[in-house]
Amino acid sequence: MDRVFINQLRVETIIGVFPWEREVRQQLLLDLEMAWDNQTPAVSGRLEDALDYGAVSARVEAFVGGSSYELLETLAEDLAALLQQEFNIPWLRLSVTKPGAVTAAAGVGICIERGAAG
């Protein structure tokens, strides 16, 4: 199966378990890799046949930006389910990075895979 990807999408949101984290917006970096048959849009040349990464990015920004999760794990699960349902994505890999969460690291986070690649 072919893949469509979005790398380091920056979104500010409320995320974290500590009281101070509930009062400030923090930046997250999201990486998405999504299974998609790219042969059809390659032949047709029609955006309607492609996985519109602009629309996916906008949906991610709206969902994550409007959320206030405590755990990255919960955010990732809910976002993956939403994207698979709304865009009919059979498989995806989602990485969520929280920069600066650990002083000695550029970022920490999680990576999940959901669905079947086909």
Helix (H, G, I), strand (E, B) or coil at 65: helix
* pLDDT tens profile 18-76: 999 999 999 999 999 999 999 999 999 999 999 999 999 999 999 999 999 999 999 99
Residue 21: DSSP 8-state: G
Q: What are φ and ψ of residue 77, in 5° steps?
A: -60, -45
Position 117 confidence tier, pLDDT thresholds 50, 70, 90: confident
pTM over 0.75: yes
List the domains of the chain with CATH numbers: 3-115 (3.30.1130.10)
DSSP character for 99? E
Whether the pLDDT of residue 87 is over 80: the answer is yes
Structure tokens at 66: 């409007």
Alpha helices by DSSP H, the chain: 39-44, 53-65, 72-87
Q: Which residues are catalytic?
A: 98
**Is 80 exceeded by the pLDDT of residue 8?**
yes
